[in-house]
Amino acid sequence: MNNKPLKILIAATEVTPLAKVGGLGDVIGALPKALNKLNLDARVIIPCYGAIDRNKYKIKLIKQNIKVGGASINLWQTNLPDSNVPVYLVEHSIFHGKKIYSTALADGPADIKKYLLFARAILEAVKNINFKPDIIHANDWPTGGLIRLLKNDYQDDQFFKQTKTLFTIHNLAHQGPAGAVNYMAEGILNADIVSTVSPTYAKEILTKEYGAGLEKILAKRKNELYGILNGIDIDFFNPASDELIRQNYSSAMLEKKSLNKLALQKKLGLPPKKNTALAGVVTRFVWQKGIDLITEKSVKAILGSPQPCQFVFLGTGEKRYENALLRLTKKFPDKISVQIKFDEKLAHEIYAGTDLFLVPSRFEPCGLTQMIAMRYGNVPLVRSTGGLKDSITNYQLKITNLSKKPTGFLFKKFASAEFYKTLTRALNIYYQEPGVWRQLQLNGMKQNFSWEKSAKEYLKLYKKLRGNKK
User: By the criterion CB under 6 A, which residues form the site for ligand ADP?
Assistant: 22-23, 282-284, 314-316, 342-344, 347, 366-369
95 close to 52: Cβ distance less than 8 angstroms: no
In this complex, which beta carbon is closest to ligand ADP, that of residue 146 or of residue 368?
368
Rg (CA), the chain: 23
How far, CA to CA in Å, does 339 sit from each of 182, 259, 266, 283, 318?
Answer: 36, 21, 14, 11, 14
Give residues with Cβ within 8 angstroms of 225, minimum separation 6.
Answer: 194, 195, 196, 202, 206, 218
Closest distance of CB 39 from ligand ADP, Å: 28
In this complex, which beta carbon is closest to ligand ADP, that of residue 258 or of residue 316?
316
Separation CA 140–CA 30 (nearest Å):
17
In this complex, which beta carbon is closest to ligand ADP, that of residue 376 or of residue 420?
376
In this complex, which beta carbon is closest to ligand ADP, that of residue 151 or of residue 284?
284
Closest distance of CB 275 from ligand ADP, Å: 26
The SS3 call for residue 74 is strand
Closest distance of CB 197 from ligand ADP, Å: 8
Q: Residue 135: beta bridge partners?
A: 8, 164
In this complex, which beta carbon is closest to ligand ADP, that of residue 156 or of residue 344?
344
In this complex, which beta carbon is closest to ligand ADP, that of residue 314 or of residue 379?
314
Nearest to 200 by CA among 383, 360, 376: 383
Closest distance of CB 22 from ligand ADP, Å: 4
Q: Residue 336: beta bridge partners?
A: 311
Closest distance of CB 280 from ligand ADP, Å: 11
Separation CA 135–CA 1 (nearest Å):
19
C-beta contacts of 61-67 below 8 A and 24+ residues apart: 62/129, 63/125, 63/128, 63/129, 66/121, 66/124, 66/125, 66/128, 67/124
Q: Which residue is nearest to ligand ADP (CB)?
A: 23
Closest distance of CB 3 from ligand ADP, Å: 36
DSSP conformational letter for 93: G
In this complex, which beta carbon is closest to ligand ADP, that of residue 182 or of residue 230?
230
Closest distance of CB 404 from ligand ADP, Å: 25
In this complex, which beta carbon is closest to ligand ADP, that of residue 414 or of residue 431?
414
In this complex, which beta carbon is closest to ligand ADP, that of residue 47 or of residue 315?
315
Closest distance of CB 342 from ligand ADP, Å: 4
Closest distance of CB 383 from ligand ADP, Å: 13
Q: Is the preceding omega at residue 17 within 30 degrees of 0, hence cis?
A: yes
User: Whole-angstrom distance between the N-terminal and C-terminal Cα of the chain?
Assistant: 16
How far, CA to CA in Å, does 40 sit from each of 12, 48, 122?
Answer: 18, 24, 20
How far, CA to CA in Å, does 184 sit from each of 217, 228, 460?
Answer: 10, 18, 24
